[in-house]
Amino acid sequence: MFVTDLFQRIEASIRDRRLLKPGGKVLVAVSGGVDSVVLLHALEKISKRRKWKIVVAHFNHQLRGRASDLDEKLVRETAAKMKLPVIVEGADVKAFAGQSMLSTEMAARKLRHEFLARAARRLKIKTIALAHHADDQVELFFLRLLRGSGGEGLGGMKWKSPSPADQRLSLIRPLLEMSKAELGELAKGQNIQYREDATNASSDFLRNRIRNQLLPLLRKDYQPALNRVILRVMEIVGAEAEFVGEAARCATIALDKLPLSVQRRVLQTRLLESGIIPDFDLIESLRLSSGRFISIGPGISAARNNAGKIKLREDLQKSFCPDELSIKFTGRAGGINFNGVKFAWRLSPVDGSVKFPRKPGEKSKMEFFDADKIGKEIVLRHWREGDRFQPIGMSTPVKLQDLFVNAKIPRERRHELVLATTRTGEIFWAEGLRIPENFKITPRTRRTLTWKRNGLVK
């Protein structure tokens, strides 16, 4: 009875959401795992009434050696037992990931979707069935939440959507209301053969850590009905995101007169139309600065007008400046000129006579460091890719680029900023940021370095 109910639910989902017409053709993506094999069995069983024409598709990612080949073997054998045509391709995903500067997960997704689109076009099939289920939706919600997605992303996967590899093809997901446990029970009840992917237990992928560590903790200690709650949230957020998207498409008044969420969506859409991948900081910079060009990458800037239309401009490319200057502290005080920027310094014993400013780190104010931790020699240079810095109050170093973003330092300004490092390369001062945790004054400090940009140390 349980198995019959599940098949009926799947058929009802397809019928009520008009995912597949009676007599239609469908390409079913089958990996060999329980989800996709159950989907294939369900569609094959229902097709006896709905007259669907089914073709099986399998992509061998070649990531797990012999295990990947056994996945392919199972899919071929399953299709043969059902007397269904099968199309198989494979590729070295790891090599492609390295060549394309993509993560293994993203490289696999790209190659898989390209294969499915290619196979569908060849067979003149316009619908591709995928086996995503309710647990996948919940994992995706937290994955995108941790990556800072907006409402459109948090809305999750749709029952029907265009293929990312070919917008003329449709992806359908008939299992979105079903849980992983229900699919497992269906496989058990029907004695369906499938293969377990050992990499699902690996902690190398963020999605796996969410599935195996975060979600069990949330269900155990915070919300036993997590799936139901998150799926409801996704439904609400997705519907609201659709409304904002439609409002953005229909907007005819000045950008500044629109609601905040619509302003952001307008700019996001216009940037994508211009071939630019937008992030939150770029959208905010443009939103708050009508008519002002914002650097969006090497040699190119963008500005928006009052209607939110984007204009691109080629700039003289700024690169990381290789200039640097080594200085040895001799005597008690001195001055430095680095590429036209003047600095003054003074070494002082801690005797209670040093007066600290109320706002250390403020531009053109004196700053104070533990001189013995810095040493007798320093280096002045500009920001370089990969530089890390640990501002006071933080437990670990972070990328300077992230700190510049948080401090709202414009992209075009960052290459001009001056850094001061120890002889071994540790940054103890970064222009525009507060002093570092590991060079601050402590009760054990015996000598201070007083540092000032553009002026004398009195």
3-state secondary structure 92-141: CHHHHHHHHCCCHHHHHHHHHHHHHHHHHHHCCCCEEECCCCHHHHHHHH
User: How many helices and strands (H and E) does the chain possess?
Assistant: 16, 19
Q: Quick one: pLDDT at residue 359?
A: 45
Buried b / exposed e across 276-312, counting CB within 10 Å, b at 16+?
A: bebeeebbebbbeeeeebbbbeeeebbbbeeebebee
Q: Please list the residues that pair with 453 across neighbouring strands.
A: 343
Tokens (6 digits) for 351: 């005797």
Query: Does 361 have pLDDT greater than 70?
Result: no
Nearest Cα neighbor of 424 from 368, 359, 376, 356 is: 376
For residue 333, how far is the Cα from the chain centroid?
48
- The pLDDT of 273-282, averaged and rounded, is 83
Residue whose structure tokens are 């053969």: 193
For residue 453, the model assigns a pLDDT of: 83
Decide the pairing of beta strands 388-389 and 398-399: antiparallel
Average pLDDT in the 363-367 region?
64
Residue 90's H or E segment, with its range, is: strand 86-90
Helix (H) or strand (E) holding 384: none
pLDDT tens for residues 385-412? 778 888 887 878 888 888 887 777 777 6
Which residue, among 418, 422, 397, 396, has the nearest Cα to 409 in the 3D structure? 418
Q: Residue 278: pLDDT band by 50, 70, 90 thresholds?
A: confident
Chain segment 161-179, per-residue pLDDT in tens: 999 999 999 999 999 999 9
Q: What is the pLDDT of residue 362?
A: 42
Give the rounded distance of the alpha carbon of 241 from its chain centre: 19
Tens digit of pLDDT for each residue in 117-168?
999 999 999 999 999 999 999 999 999 998 888 888 899 999 999 999 999 9
364 pLDDT higher than 50: no
- Choose between 343 and 221: higher pLDDT: 221
Tell me what the pLDDT averaged over the chain comes to.
86
| 265 vs 150: CA distance, rounded Å | 10
357 compared with 4, residue with greater pLDDT = 4
Confidence band for 413, pLDDT divided at 50, 70 and 90 = confident
Query: What integer pLDDT is reported at residue 297 of this predicted model?
Result: 66
Specify the pLDDT at position 315: 62
Give the pLDDT confidence of 206-237 residue by residue, as tens digits.
888 999 999 999 999 999 999 999 999 999 99
